[in-house]
Structure 1
Amino acid sequence: MQRIAGTIMLLDGWRRALVAFLAGALATLALAPYDFPFVGFLSFPLLVWLIDGAAGEPGRGFLRRLMPAFRIGWCFGFGYFVAGLWWLGAAILVDAEAFLWALPFAVLGLPAVLAIYHGLACALARALWSDGALRLLALAACLALFEYLRGILFTGFPWNEIGMMAASTPLLMQSLSLVGLHGLTLAAILVFSLPALLAGPAPLRGPVLALGLVLAAGHLGFGAWTMGREAPGFAQDVRLRIVQPNILQSQKWDAEEAERIFARHLELSAEGRGGEGGQTLVIWPESAFPFILTDSPAGVARLAETLQPGETLLAGAARVEETGTAQGRLYYNSLLVIDEDGTIADARDKRHLVPFGEYLPFQERLEALGIEQLTQLPGGFTPGTVSAPVEVAGTSFLPLICYEIIFQDEIALGDGARPAFLLNVTNDAWYGTTPGPYQHLAHAQASAVAFGLPLVRAANTGISVVTDARGRPVAGLGLGQGGTVAAALPLAGAPTLFSRAGNVPFIAMLGIFIIGAILPQLSRRFG
């Protein structure tokens, strides 16, 4: 092990960059759909040893001395994001004639930008570096801090945060209910880095190794204890019927396909009917309607004919508001609550829109240059302003449209009673059968577990699923399948520590790690 570590530390130039890139790319095998977390025990020791060998030239400025560590972190992050997000290019190819020019930006440009976070984290870690085991605390603290910042700066994009590497199954997700994804990220980086301590002497190796083993054992033990407890059960008077129409993205807004698409949704909504009794929630995925519902009285009438007494439709749809000004119409990506008579009883609009997908930064200027967002909607969608649970049919839910569900820090359960479940409607048809839909589902499950709530998920092409409050699937349909998911509604679990305290446990852990990391510097200065 010492020989391997020494060889890695002495790498320079393109060889060092290549090993860092491959270490980052390898780490993505811990993510869905591969779910092999043990690769972390290889990727992160490699990163530690590369930073060990990244000492800047003596006599140069402080920031310039940190540049080798920045380059290592950037290459590691670039590998991680290219291998983990290459499937974003599939969305570009849906309309290749219009957007092929953007393919390099999606597949390489975005990873290059996101990798800056990992570069800055490794540079800061190098500034706190020491020769002993406490350097692992520095790496864990700095990477976790910048992963947190990645989720909030410039609209945020926490997709595939490192903590997801340690949350590949419901058993491994339960710690999220205590410390959230950021806290799990902090612990996971330390635990994955522990093999680096096997190479040569390392002061304080015993205490750091013990801390890592305690965190790993606590993670596994808490998961096993939680999964072994009796499940909360199911609601007796609410049934779910999820429609997964499996409409290709290239067909969704084709005017010639509109009637077939609408008819398929109606057919599947009735197909799963089986004398359930009580109240039934019929759930359609994001952007299910191939037209603006309020512009189609005939569509409203057909809905009223299809829905039976006791049925309520929850459907993803584009919603329009007339402004009465020169601005004209405002378009929202929404979740509509539609009564059995076809009346829109309530609605929630998507608040966290996808940049370049649903709107353009500097919209007017870029549109003037002929650039459009992927939805090709002039002016783009308008973000919603309300985040609150919806009460319907004797239950309540918090709607989260598409990737809103990955933003655990933004999920607001409301000031009153907790919702009974999280409802995620999405259209992952953009990404075909790539890893994207699997990763999206994993994030959705993780958020539901963090808040101790069941997940009800309707996805156009899959993966539609109902999970209990511990993330265990109750019913579902796989990717690329069409049909209906009929299931009882699992009951909510007790409020979790994370749902009550948010990121306070993470911040406390982060502070402890940072103090531990700087102990050698403090000891040299004051000892």
Structure 2
Amino acid sequence: MVSAIDKSRTLISSLRELSGWRRGLLAFAGGIASAFAFPPYGAFPILWVTLPLLILLLDGARDQTAARRKTRFFAFFRVSWAFFFGFFLIGLFWIAEAFLVDAKSYAWMIPFALVILPGGLALIPSLVLSGASLFWTHGVSRILLFVVALALSNWLRGHILTGFPWNVWGYAFAENLTLMQSFSALGIYGVGFLVLFLFSMPVVLIDQRRKAAAAYISACVLVWAGVVAYGTNRLQAPQQTVEGLQVLVIQPNVPQADKWKPENRQRLLPLYLQQTQQALSELKLDTETLIFWPESAFPFLLDEEPGALEAIGATLPQNTMLITGGIRRELSENGNLFFNSTFVVSDEGALIDIYDKVRLVPFGEYLPKRWLLQSIGVERLVPAPADFTAGTRHKKIDLKNSLSFQPLICYEAIFPQTVLPVSERPNLLVNLTNDGWFGETAGPYQHLAQARVRAVEQGVPLVRAANTGISSLVDSNGRILAEVVLNKKGSFNSELPKILRPTPYVRVGDSIFWGIILVVVSILLVMEKLLPTRRD
């Protein structure tokens, strides 16, 4: 036992003594390994190695620059950036697939995308941790400081500029149904704090301050027990369904490279109608039926295409309703405005309601800083006459019999900020998407996992219709009740699960997360661990 402890201390000392490219390379490897804690891999126990590794490498950066704050800041930055560059490189490598849909036009951009996006995202946690270096010590306090810094950088990444909360730390729990229930209370950022707090714990085992270490370990045990007990209890509630209603989801599996070809303009609507008609023929249509088609289903403007709505109305039986994605146009003083929209179509082929996507994908649906990027040959990926225009607000759409749904188009489902007030709470979340851009990669699986978390956060079931998959029906606890697998043509029908009572997250949002941050920062201040005069 003593020999094992001595070997561990020797290894830790060696890690702290690393410098230069060796320290950066190890940090880079730690970031790569950390990416496998997230969907679709779900190997979250690896964080018990990689997060302590990062802390120990930062310890070494601090020890070697103890009296030089500016040098310490940049030493922390280099270690952190190497770690998070590796993390985002592996977590987002699938984005390169989108540039291969039209390889002749966009393949040249892949090396830039695989460097600029991970490198840019890595700046946020790296700068926050570099700021934390000014208060870094040895002991439990620097672990708490580390946790707070990365939890805050999570929130910043989800909000600054356009926001991109993809693979934030809380999603490490997204593959485990019991652990996933904690999202209903804390939201993605609160759970992210717990993940960082719990998986940084091994560092305290080598701490010389035994009382502080014992307190941290005890807190971790209590948190684990609380998360498991909460999740187990929440999953025991019986599942109920909405009476007199069924859903039918169509996954056409149209290759992205074929979708916008002019010769397919007249082929796709009949394809959807035929697949829908075949699926309907296998159902009992004695109840209301909601039919779902994916995002931007057609290479034309649905509400302007001659005969399109009439053909849909002729296909839909009585007591059915279609919810589909499509592009629409508005005339304005400045010309045509194009919107990525969700349409609700009645069984008579009439438009009932429309929602316009609020959060557009940069470089996909619009080109930021167009005047600059277009001058060097960069264009958006989605073929359209002009950049899309963003909608004005998230909303719910009311249907028959007090049923309502909230549309979330494509990557809007990754944003917890889309939650509506309790007074506007829908019965259903509807995520229409087209992940055909990303082929057989981790991207579609990650997208589904994040959409499932929105269902748990809100206690509202989710219907997901995706062009090439993964289409699914998710209940209010995040269980997948039905699905069509990736890159397969198919459909499913099911009864619709009922919503649960408004979750704590719906009622208070990120207030609990900010409360946790405030409490921990207060503890650190009370311990006088953040006062610079005590550091040097």
**Displacement, 1:170?**
2.1
1:302 aligns with 2:328: no
Residue 85 (structure 2) aligned to one of 70, 78, 82: 78
SS at match of 2:404: strand
Query: Do 1:78 and 1:115's aligned partners in 2 also have CA atoms closer than 8 Å?
Result: yes
| 1:144 aligned partner | 151
Amino acid at match of 1:216: W
After superposition, residues 41-60 of structure 1 pair within 5 angstroms as 41-55=48-62, 57-60=65-68
Secondary structure of 2:303's aligned partner: helix
Q: Is the 8 A contact 1:426 1:460 kept in 2?
A: yes
Q: Distance in 1 between matches of 2:446 and 2:316?
A: 33
Look up the match of 2:226: 218
- Equivalent positions of 1:124-143 (< 5 A) are 124-143=131-150
Q: How many residues align?
A: 521
2:3 maps to which residue? Answer: none
What aligned pairs does 1:28-47 form with structure 2 within 5 A after superposition?
28-47=35-54
TM-score for the superposition, normalised by structure 1: 0.95
Structure 1 position 121, deviation (Å) = 2.6
Q: Where does structure 2 lack aligned partners over 5 or more consecutive residues?
A: 1-7
8 Å CA contact 1:429, 1:460 repeated in 2: yes
**Which residue of structure 2 aligns with residue 278 of structure 1?**
287
Superposition map of 1:364-403 within 5 A: 364-367=371-374, 370-394=377-401, 395-403=403-411
The answer to whether the 8 Å contact 1:170/1:472 transfers is: yes
2:180 partner letter: M
Identity %: 36
Looking at structure 2, the residues matched to 414 and 302 of structure 1 have their Cα atoms a distance apart, in angstroms, of 37
Structure 1, unpaired ranges of 5+: none
CA distance in 2, matches of 1:138, 1:525: 17
| 1:395-474 map, 5 Å | 395-408=403-416, 410-414=417-421, 416-474=423-481
CA distance in 1, matches of 2:427, 2:214: 45
Counterparts of 1:117 and 1:523, CA distance in 2: 24
SS in 2 for 1:195: helix
* Counterpart contact for 2:135–2:531, Cα < 8 Å: no
Instruction: Please point out which of 261, 265, 270 is paired with 1:263.
Output: 270
Correspondent of 2:486 among 474, 479, 488: 479
Taking the aligned partners of 1:287 and 1:98, their CA distance within structure 2 comes to: 22
Structure 1 residues 459-468 or 101-110, which shifts more?
A: 101-110
Distance 2:362 2:241 in 1: 38
The RMSD of aligned alpha carbons is: 1.7
Amino acid aligned to 1:227: L
Distance 1:524 1:359 in 2: 45
Q: Is the 8 A contact 1:244 1:462 kept in 2?
A: yes
In 2, Cα distance between the equivalents of 1:246 and 1:108? 31
Q: Distance in 1 between matches of 2:216 and 2:314?
A: 65
Give distance in 2, aligned partners of 1:4 and 1:507. 36
Deviations 1:345-375 (A, max 9, x none): 1000100001111001123554455432001
The counterpart of 1:25, out of the listed 32, 38, 44, is: 32
Distance in 1, matches of 2:52 and 2:104, equals: 44
What is the rounded CA distance, in whole Å, between the counterparts of 1:121 and 1:211 in structure 2?
A: 25
Deviation, structure 1 residue 523: 8.4
Aligned in 2, Cα 1:14/1:246: closer, same or farther, shift over 3 Å? same
Is 1:173 aligned to 2:219, yes or no? no
- Structure 1 residues 71, 525: closer, same or farther in 2, change over 3 A? closer
2:364 to 357, 360, 363: 357
Aligned to 1:2: 9
- Give yes or no for contact 2:419–2:506 (8 Å, CA) kept in 1: no
Please, what TM-score do these two structures have when normalized by structure 2? 0.94
1:98 offset after TM fit, Å? 0.8
